[in-house]
Amino acid sequence: MDFNTKYTPQSWPDHPEQVTLEGKNKFLGFWLFLAGETVLFSSLFATYLALKNKGPSGMEFSTQTLFELPLVFVMTMILLTSSLTSVYAMYHMKNHNFKGMQTWLAITVILGIAFLCLEIYEFNHYVHLGFTYGQSAFSTAFFTLVGTHGLHVAIGLGWIILLLIRNAKRGFSLYNAPKYYTASLYWHFIDVVWVFIFTVVYLMGVVG
């Protein structure tokens, strides 16, 4: 299968990300990578639960006093929406609508940046309250878990932006289709992890 073949919407395959052997390998390899990432986040979650609210004696911070749900709810909605927009982008890729895909991915990126800004604001707010990285075992575990997620968001944004710019002028090929596809998989994964963070860290922290 030649990478340089030009396709029309009629000749474009149903699963362009899995036509070439390279594409198939990337598809499977990336799923396996995400399996490993799941274990990585599980370890971080387990550690967070073990160290939640633990600190030096007389520590004033706890999940109840620290977290405020409205901001986190907005962040959650933004990230969930960005997952939806990346689905639209993949839908357009399947239909060989390059412009549509790029547009929806650009919207995904904007939402991702908005999420990241809110997270930075949130972290900054905590630090100003005195809840710094080294303040307690709780703060270390919290910033590491949520920060690792934030880092994943940042890397995902960099990746998608790079794809958007690199391919802006040349349209679809069987070479870049797997790249777009795995990037969107990654974005979904980040989203799923955030759902768990929202539940385990924030909801169970404030309500539970």
Partner 1 sequence: MSSIAKKKGFGASLWDYLTTVDHKKIAILYLAAGGLFFVIGGIEAMLIRIQLAKPDNDFVSAGLFNEIITMHGTTMIFLAAMPLLFAFMNAVMPLQIGARDVAFPFLNALGFWLFLFGGLFLNLSWFMGGAPDAGWTSYASLSLASEGHGVDFYALGLQVSGAGTYIAGINFLVTIINMRAPGMTYMRMPLFTWTTFVASALILFAFPPLTVGLFFLIFDRMFGGNFFDHTMGGNTIIWEHLFWIFGHPEVYILILPAFGIFSEIFSLFSRKRLFGYSSMVFATVLIGFLGFMVWAHHMFTVGLGPTANAIFSVATMAIAVPTGMKIFNWLLTIWGGSIKVTVPMLYALGFIPSFVAGGVTGIMQAAAPLDYQLHDSYFIVAHFHYVIVGGVVLAILAAVHLYWPLMFNQMLSEKLGKWTFWFFFIGFHCTFFIQHFLGLMGMPRRVFTFGADQGWDTFNLISSLGAILMAIGVIILVVNVIITIVKNEKVGNDPWGDGRTLEWAIPQPIPFYNFKQTPLVRGLDTFWIEKQEGNKEGMTYAEPLSDIHMPNGSIIPLVMSFGLFVASFGALYNGEKDWAIPVLVLGLAITFASMAIRSIKDDHGFHVHKEDILKNEGGNK
Rule CB under 8 A: which residues touch partner 1? 3, 21, 24-25, 28-29, 32-33, 35-37, 39-40, 43-44, 47, 50-51, 54-56, 59, 133-134, 136-141, 144, 158-159, 162-163, 166, 175, 179
Q: Among residues 101 and 160, whose Cβ is nearest to partner 1?
A: 160
CB of 55 to partner 1, least distance (A): 4
∠ Cα 137 141 146 (to 5°): 150
Cβ contacts of 84-89, under 8 Å, gap ≥ 24 = 85/111, 86/184, 86/187, 86/188, 87/184, 89/180, 89/184
Q: Which residues contact 51 (CB under 8 A, 6 or more apart)?
A: 137, 138, 140, 141
Cβ–Cβ under 8 Å, residues 52 and 145: no
Closest CA to 69 of 23, 1, 122: 122
CB of 38 to partner 1, least distance (A): 8
Measured over the CA atoms of residue 125, residue 127, residue 131 and residue 134, the dihedral's sign is: positive
Q: Among residues 11 and 57, whose Cβ is nearest to partner 1?
A: 57
Q: Among residues 139 and 184, whose Cβ is nearest to partner 1?
A: 139
Residue with tokens 């990578």: 33
CB of 36 to partner 1, least distance (A): 5
Q: Among residues 76 and 139, whose Cβ is nearest to partner 1?
A: 139
Q: Among residues 42 and 199, whose Cβ is nearest to partner 1?
A: 42
CB of 113 to partner 1, least distance (A): 18
CB of 187 to partner 1, least distance (A): 16
